Amino acid sequence: MDINAVLKRAMEYIGREKDAGFRGEVEELVRKEDWKELEDRFYRNLEFGTGGLRGIIGGGYNRMNSLVVKSATQGLAAYFKKTFPDKDREGKLSAVIAFDSRHYSAEFAEASALIFAANGIKTWLFSSLRPTPELSFAIRKLGCDTGIVVTASHNPSTYNGYKAYWNDGSQVIPPHDIGIIREVEAVKDIFEMDRQEALNEGLLRIIDKEIDEPYQAMVKSRLFRPDLIKAKAQEVKIVYTPLHGTGAFHVEKALGDLGLKVITVPEQREGNGDFPTVVFPNPEEAPALKMAIDLGKKEKADVVMATDPDADRFGIAVPEKPGSDTYVLVTGNQMGVLLADYIFLSLRETGKLPANAAMINTVVTTGMQAKVAEYYGAACIECLTGFKWIADIWRKCEKGEIDKTIVFGTEESYGYLVENEVRDKDGISAAALTAEMTLYWRSRGKGLLDRLNELYHICGYWQEMGISKYFQGPEGPGVMKGIMDNYRKNPPETLGGLAVTRVRDIKNGVDGLPPSDVLQFYLEDGTIVSARPSGTEPKIKFYATSCTKVSGDLEKARAEAARKLEAITKDIRSVIGD
């Protein structure tokens, strides 16, 4: 992008941005003639990906700031007004907005609410930070047409983001996301309203407990064995961290009401957009759980739990053996296996397992979950990466378009949905169900790892690996496209010494899946290797899921799986670099 084009866009932004801080950043860059930084901020506009908008906070069209958020909301409002013209004419369009603990989250949320109000859309705004799953719940509870949660999920503190939702509580999918993008790109005038005026006219309403209490009741209602919890709750000790995010209020309240003892990491309990004790506030990252595990060792906890800042992701660590000071991190794939097993088992034991029961997972999630579903006579339906696609399948099943009754949805990146009332991953409900699951297996003399090992003997030993490579700056998208193009033109004959027997390219849609920039390589031993650029970050991601037969010796199977995945990783690294 040449300097004149960059400067033109920068000056346009300066003229439109009302926030003095964001505007000043760009003015200073122009004054210093910092063309490299300006190019990064203006070579593109932030786009809706698998999770909506997400980017580094700062001035510029390629940053998260007041103007970008307001433009997105104006475009969203315009799209809903055009999509539901009768409701618009009758003044019946409505929205609900939540936000997390990140910098500018509250400001972006209120700005969005006042733009909706100015467009005649009645808006409920949470009084303080709330988790993403509660926002999804609120859309359905209030009967809203749309919703927004301001969050960048598990990204570092320099990021913020914006997730847009449809009227069923799920994130926006095609064709609506494309339609919204077009409306956003066409925005010239942004309509805003004064806060007090919006309140006076009934176009803005502040909410909290009227949603909090039903949401907590719902979380508790999804448990299978309340009598077991009532009788045995004091036998399980839980250490929990919200990683400076939104989860503490609901996890402490919901689990506490059940009589469970929850010890929250005090240094990480309160919301703090700096995330001062972690680099990445992500339960997928081992360092993020260090303080919780240290406290777990001190308290001799039976399970250590963590949610990310908007409490949609959930992770755990458990003692290697009862009473051990060594805690083992349970991966997202393993957690999905354990929850699927427990849900199917519990439904069967209580006589409530539907004849057409099914779970949903994504194309990059472990193949072991399908084996668990099969073990219980159920199905496992695959979908694209991103929880909005899990919600889409769930919706189709409810409408009778697919003859299955969904009981669980999960993805490898620590996302789980165990209830019908929410249409996004829910770390709060997952925490409650995991507490019950821990108690259940404890009542049978087992830990979660013991049950996982039993499932390995039933389903084979499955192990997964993931590789992420970031490509920052204007050249990043081109580099990632080049990698994907090269894999398409010259697919590898082998990966890790194993022959590639099939290539599945989902770019144009295949096997009932919508189009997505995903390549999958099927190896001779059943291993599947997937490649996809991220929809929300400048990185390309590789996944592998591999099964090794267990012939009595589980450790031998572990070693063989590790060897295969190490060899595959080496081949991928030779293409993308370290």
We report the CATH number of the domain holding residue 383 as: 3.40.120.10
Q: What is the pLDDT of residue 359?
A: 98
Q: Which residues are catalytic?
A: 153
Q: What is the pLDDT of residue 421?
A: 97
Beta-bridge mates of residue 502? 522
For residue 522, report the phi and psi dihedrals to the nearest 5 degrees. -95, 125
Residue span of the structural domain in which 545 resides: 460-576
Final residue in a domain of this structure, among 322, 352, 375: 322
Q: What is the pLDDT of residue 553?
A: 87
Same domain, 293 and 387: no
Let me know if residue 140 belongs to a domain.
yes
Let me know if residue 177 belongs to a domain.
yes
- Backbone φ/ψ region at 150: left (φ over 0), alpha (ψ -120 to 50), beta: beta
Same domain, 295 and 344: no
Q: What is the pLDDT of residue 52?
A: 75
Token reading at 177 = 């996301």
Same domain, 184 and 310: no
Final residue in a domain of this structure, among 298, 322, 346: 322
Same domain, 144 and 289: no
Q: Scan for tokens 């999630």, then name that residue.
A: 365
Per the document, the length of the chain is: 578
Q: What is the pLDDT of residue 526?
A: 93
Beta carbons of 239 and 296 less than 8 angstroms apart? yes
Beta carbons of 250 and 269 less than 8 angstroms apart? no
Same domain, 54 and 201: yes
Domain count, the chain: 5
Q: What is the pLDDT of residue 49?
A: 59
Same domain, 200 and 92: yes
Final residue in a domain of this structure, among 458, 483, 518: 458
Which helix (H) or strand (E) is 498 found in, with range?
A: strand 498-505
Q: What is the pLDDT of residue 416?
A: 98
CATH of the domain at 523: 3.30.310.50
Please tell me whether residue 500 adopts helix, strand or coil conformation: strand
Let me know if residue 312 belongs to a domain.
yes
Q: What is the pLDDT of residue 475?
A: 84
Span 45-87, pLDDT tens digits: 887 655 678 999 999 999 999 999 999 999 999 999 999 999 9
Q: What is the pLDDT of residue 50?
A: 54
Same domain, 342 and 223: no
Q: Which residues contact 143 (CB under 8 A, 6 or more apart)?
A: 94
Spatial distance between the Cα atoms of 476 and 538, rounded to a whole number of angstroms: 7
Same domain, 69 and 124: yes
Token reading at 440 = 């259940």
Spatial distance between the Cα atoms of 391 and 159, rounded to a whole number of angstroms: 26
Beta carbons of 539 and 472 less than 8 angstroms apart? no
Let me know if residue 496 belongs to a domain.
yes
Same domain, 27 and 149: no
Let me know if residue 327 belongs to a domain.
no
Per-residue pLDDT of the chain (578 residues; tens, 9 = 90+): 899 999 999 999 999 999 999 999 999 999 999 999 999 999 988 876 556 789 999 999 999 999 999 999 999 999 999 999 999 999 999 999 999 999 999 999 999 999 999 999 999 999 999 999 999 999 999 999 999 999 999 999 999 999 999 999 999 998 898 888 889 889 999 999 999 999 999 999 999 999 999 999 999 999 999 999 999 999 999 999 999 999 999 999 999 999 999 999 999 999 999 999 999 999 999 999 999 999 999 999 999 999 999 999 999 999 998 888 999 999 999 999 999 999 999 999 999 999 999 999 999 999 999 999 999 999 999 999 989 999 999 999 999 999 999 999 999 999 999 999 999 999 999 999 999 999 999 999 999 999 999 999 999 999 999 999 988 888 888 899 999 999 999 999 999 999 999 999 999 999 999 999 999 999 999 999 999 998 667 889 999 999 999 988 899 999 999 999 999 999 999 999 88
10 Å CB burial of residue 227 (0-12, 13-18, 19+) is exposed
Let me know if residue 86 belongs to a domain.
yes
Which candidate, 476, 570, 568, places its Cα nearest to that of 530?
A: 568
Q: Scan for tokens 């777990």, then name that residue.
A: 296
Same domain, 395 and 539: no
Q: What is the pLDDT of residue 552?
A: 82
Span 135-156, pLDDT tens digits: 999 999 999 999 999 999 999 9
Spatial distance between the Cα atoms of 149 and 425, rounded to a whole number of angstroms: 13
Token reading at 366 = 């472990």
Q: What is the pLDDT of residue 323?
A: 82
Let me know if residue 4 belongs to a domain.
yes
* Cα four-point dihedral sign 456, 461, 464, 465: positive
Same domain, 59 and 203: yes
Q: Which residues contact 445 (CB under 8 A, 6 or more apart)?
A: none
Q: Which residues contact 530 (CB under 8 A, 6 or more apart)?
A: 363, 364, 518, 519, 520, 521, 542, 543, 544
**Strand ranges for 338-383 from DSSP E:** 357-362, 379-383
Same domain, 473 and 530: yes
Which candidate, 431, 398, 432, 413, places its Cα nearest to that of 170?
A: 398
Token reading at 217 = 């009741």
b/e map 497-523, b = 16+ CB within 10 Å: ebebeeeebbeeeeeeeeebbbbbbbb
Spatial distance between the Cα atoms of 562 and 464, rounded to a whole number of angstroms: 9
Spatial distance between the Cα atoms of 542 and 537, rounded to a whole number of angstroms: 14
Which candidate, 442, 447, 441, 433, places its Cα nearest to that of 224?
A: 433
Let me know if residue 255 belongs to a domain.
yes
